[in-house]
Homo-oligomer: A and B are copies of this chain.
Amino acid sequence: MRWCRFRAADKEAYGIVDGQDVIEVRGTPFDKFERTTIRRPLDRVKLLVPCIPGTFYAAGLNYLSHIQETAKAGGKENYAPERPDIGYRAINALVAHQEAIIIPYDATEKVQYEGELVVVIGKKAKRVTEEEALGCVLGYTIGNDISERSWQRNDRTFWRSKNSDTFKPIGPWIETEVNLNLMRTTVRLNKKVVSEFPTNNMVFSIATYISTMSRYLTLHPGDIIWMGTDGPTHNIQHGDEVEVEIRGIGTLRNPVLREKEG
C-alpha cells in the first residue's frame, strides 16, 4: 500500500495512492483510519511531506564506499563506525516531493545530494529484538540528505550544513510492501545517472539499528530513520533538478534554487 499526505481544495489529509489516483482517508496510517469515497487524480493534488515525525533520526555513514569517499574528501567522519550510533536531524529542514531545495546565498559551491532510504516507524517500539524490528515499520520512503560540505567540516555541529530549511526533501509517499534485497537506489542530476547502488547493502542493517536504538529509546509511530547513502556525491546548483529513485518505492524529484542575497 502507498500512503501519502496531500493538500487539495484547501484541505490536508492522508491518502492511499491507487494507480494514478489518491483515495482520501479519514484518520492516519498510525492510528485508526477509513477510506472515504473521495478520489482525486494524483497530478491534481499537492503532495506534502508524507508524515511529520516526532523525532528525526539519521544513521549517517552506513555504506562502505561512501565512507571511503568521505575520508578522501577530508571530512570529519573519515572512519567506519564500529557501532550503530544514531544521529539526529531537524524537522524544519523537511520539504516534499517537487518542492525546491534552496541553497543559502552564502553557502559555498559544495552543496551536495545524498539519496537515502527512509524508514517510517508504524508502532511504538522499545527493546525489540532484531527479529521483531521490521514488524514496527509502517513502510519506506525516499530522502535526499542535502549537505553543505564546508559547513559540515568547520562548524561545531551539523546545524546549517545538514539542517538548513529545505535541505531534507522526503517523499513522494510511504510504500508498505517492499523487498529490501531487490531495492536499488538511483540518483539522477538533470536526468543523468550520477549514483547507483543496492539499497540494502548497509554496514548496519535496518533491523540492527532499530533493535539497538530501542534498547535506550522508545521509537514512536511517525518517527523516521534515514539510512545513509552510498558512493560519490556531486555539487548541485541553481537550476538543477535532482531525482532519487528507489526501485519498489518511486521517485523523489526536487528542483534546486540559490537564494538571492538579502
Which residues of A are interface residues toward B (Cβ below 8 A)? Answer: 52, 54-55, 57, 60, 77, 81-83, 85-93, 104, 126, 155-157, 159-160, 163-165, 213, 215-220, 223
Nearest Cβ on chain B to A218's Cβ, whole angstroms: 5
CA distance A213 to B90 in the complex (A): 12
CA distance A220 to B93 in the complex (A): 12
Closest partner residue, chain B, to A106 (CB atom): B215
> Could you tell me if B55 and A216 are in contact, using CB atoms closer than 8 angstroms?
no
Closest partner residue, chain B, to A148 (CB atom): B216
Complex contacts, A126 vs chain B, CB 8 Å: 165
Beyond A55-B91, A83-B155, 9 additional pairs, beta carbon < 8 A: A54-B91, A55-B90, A60-B156, A85-B156, A87-B156, A88-B89, A93-B217, A126-B165, A159-B217
> Could you tell me if A90 and B88 are in contact, using CB atoms closer than 8 angstroms?
yes
CA distance A83 to B218 in the complex (A): 33
Name 5 interchain pairs, CB-CB below 8 A, sorted by A. A85-B155, A85-B156, A159-B217, A160-B215, A163-B217
Q: Which of B93, B159, B164, B220 contacts A92 (CB 8 A)?
A: B220
Nearest Cβ on chain B to A92's Cβ, whole angstroms: 5
> Could you tell me if A217 and B165 are in contact, using CB atoms closer than 8 angstroms?
yes
Q: Which of B54, B57, B81, B92 contacts A218 (CB 8 A)?
A: B92
CA distance A157 to B159 in the complex (A): 14
Complex contacts, A82 vs chain B, CB 8 Å: 156
Complex contacts, A218 vs chain B, CB 8 Å: 92, 165
